[in-house]
Chain A
Amino acid sequence: MIVQPVLVVAAALFSIGIYGILVRRNAVMVLLSIELILNSVNINFIMFDTMLADTMMQGQIFTIFIITIAAAEVGIGLAIVLMLFRNRQTANINEFDLMKW
């Protein structure tokens, strides 16, 4: 398998996630875009793990850790969004300006 197309597609997924974070207005949609970014990092880790043929398989192990941390991040993030929605009756991130100067 050729290495370069997979790496370029992973970079494209990363930049698509950045676009989603910058453009989306709903807080849940921003969290979805963060998942896209973490997924692109996972693809890179697995690709380099296969490419370097590491005997310790550190790419796969780090991918498992990233998936675990991402699950924790989604739980906390959705709890925060839920709390904000309960207090403000909206999930629109433009209206959460309490800490803005």
Chain B
Amino acid sequence: MEIFEVVVYFILLALLSTSIRVVTTSNVIHAAISLVFTLALTAILFLMLSAEFVALVLILVYIGAVIVLFLFGIMITRAPLGKNAELDNDKNKKLGALISGSIFFLFSYILINGFDGEVVVLSGSSTELLGEILLSRFVFPFELVSFVLLAALIGGITLARKDEALVDKDQI
């Protein structure tokens, strides 16, 4: 049990450092790669909380699809790939640190005062039960979310497609 706690604290520290790197690095590719590490550490945390299906979905969908999409976005918008001092808005840095710091202190004050105790993590798989619940009690939201995904797919294609007839050159 002692080893388990040490591993959890190590994962939490690594999670913090990689996520800080996502927002502070001046290299766009490094930011995307740091997000990969953040998501992978989150998946490990989910595995330790016996939510293995969600961990696998996180790895497949986020690291497999979303990050690749982000890298395509970075390369298509021709962001300078090396170090780039223009990436941050220096005027906003102090204000951003103030706002995010106050949000952090407020949230952690509430969470520390409101929730206490220890969790007993059950061993064994929860995927079978999750599938049963998802396709019985939550089948309507499940179908609805698949419809939303289809709508987003069609909307993304429609937005990104080059349509000469719709673009008025003089207006832009």
Residues of B within 8 A of A1 (CB): 4-5, 8, 48-49, 118-119, 121
Interface string of A1-41 (1 = CB under 8 A from B): 11111111101111111111011111111011101100100
B81 in the interface (beta carbon within 8 A): no
Q: Is A20 within 8 A of B22, CB to CB?
A: yes
Which secondary structure dominates chain B's binding surface?
helix
A9 touches which one: B12, B66, B133, B152 (CB < 8 A)? Answer: B12
Interface of A is mostly: helix
Q: Which residue on A lies nearest to B150, using beta carbons?
A: A72
Question: How distant is the Cα of A17 from the Cα of B87 in the complex, in angstroms?
Answer: 16
Q: Restricting to B52-107, which residues have a CB under 8 Å from any CB of A?
A: 53-54, 57-58, 61-62, 65-66, 69-70, 72-74, 76-79, 86-89, 92-93, 95-97, 99-101, 103-104, 107
Q: Which residues of B contact A (CB under 8 A)?
A: 4-5, 8-9, 12, 15-16, 19-20, 22-23, 28, 31-32, 35, 38-39, 42, 45-46, 48-51, 53-54, 57-58, 61-62, 65-66, 69-70, 72-74, 76-79, 86-89, 92-93, 95-97, 99-101, 103-104, 107-108, 111-112, 115-119, 121, 126, 129-130, 133-134, 137-138, 141, 145-146, 148-149, 151-153, 155-157, 159-160, 162, 167, 172
Beyond the given pairs A3-B117, A72-B153, 14 more chain A to chain B contacts, judged by CB atoms under 8 angstroms and listed by A's residue number, are A15-B100, A18-B99, A19-B96, A22-B92, A29-B28, A42-B54, A42-B58, A61-B134, A64-B54, A64-B57, A67-B62, A78-B70, A91-B79, A92-B86
